[in-house]
A = this chain, B = another copy of it.
């Protein structure tokens, strides 16, 4: 069985770990390909940082911090403190000392002419995440956020000056608290799916959308020209799991992202954002939390088959059960 998943960072990585656990529990043989979001990648201090790829790699490879969800277990931040002591910006990015090694290997390899795909494969040689991890694209396409200038500057008409800041600055430095007018993925028009991405969608037996951020993680992957069309034309069922439970994101600040794109922060809202495959969208099925069961009729009215199940990834067993349900509704009944 070939399973292809689109993934952001923490939520996606934890779901994938549950998926692996389920497959192991049931002694099932399946190849998993993960198409990772690179829209929140950033160059900092000369280092190419791919937060979502690394979170998947570290989490599935057994090296991530369970407490934080991102970065490395037993991490230190001495280089970060020193960079701040030198007064060089940015100081708000959580650049760990162990993590820097990953970024150094990546950055020198990219400088030597290797593609991000190649570099990701090379890094995974060490981590053995048990999945084939592909960046959504080898082209640079980074999400930026249009906000009112936090300095309070006004334009010539006296209105707040709008500026675009990198997604990471908005997310980490401002904790998504600056109202976002718009997300702009700089370079997305020229981005192509990385080698293997379209094949992994076309050849899959099932495609999963883990409970990742639907706007700045999954949404960014979908924005790479060709990927949405591939999802719409694949013969594999596309099954999504809601990252919104009870009107709030399980983790992270997806509510701020949904508000920006005019979507209600609810399991129904996200279902509508993705849309039914039968109606120009991508979903063949949608799983929502049991606490949101009241929304099932409204979601099915959108043309999306919907089931309400426990969707809290409280532990590995609970997450494995979610993955099992996702495969079940995909009709694979494994």
- Spell out A's residues near B (CB within 8 Å): 45-47, 75-76, 78-83, 85-88, 97-98, 100-102, 104-105, 107-108, 111, 123, 126
Contacts and interface: CB of A to CB of B under 8 A. Distances in A.
Contacts of A47: 104
A225 to B, nearest CB: 31
Contact of A83 (B45, B86, B88, B104): B104
B76 A101 contact: no
Contact of A111 (B46, B88, B100, B104): B46
A51 to B, nearest CB: 17
Contact of A98 (B78, B87, B104): B78
B88 A105 contact: yes
Given A86-B123, A98-B82, A107 B76 contact: no
A101 B126 contact: no
A63 B126 CA distance: 35
Contacts of A87: 126
Contact of A76 (B76, B80, B105, B126): B76
B46 A86 contact: no
Contacts of A45: 104-105, 108
Contact of A85 (B78, B88, B111, B126): B126
Given A46-B104, A97-B97, 11 more contacts: A46-B107, A76-B97, A79-B79, A80-B101, A81-B98, A82-B101, A82-B102, A83-B104, A83-B105, A87-B126, A97-B100
Given A86-B123, A86-B126, A126-B86, A78 B104 contact: no
Contacts of A75: 78
Given A46-B46, A87-B126, A79 B107 contact: no
Contacts of A104: 45-47, 79, 83
A218 B111 CA distance: 34
Contacts of A46: 46, 104, 107-108, 111
Contacts of A107: 46
A126 B87 CA distance: 8
Q: Which 7 A-B pairs have the closest CB atoms?
A: A82-B101, A97-B97, A78-B97, A46-B108, A45-B104, A79-B101, A83-B101
A254 to B, nearest CB: 31
A81 B99 CA distance: 11
A261 to B, nearest CB: 34
Nearest to A45: B104
7 contacts: A46-B46, A75-B78, A78-B78, A78-B98, A79-B79, A79-B104, A80-B101
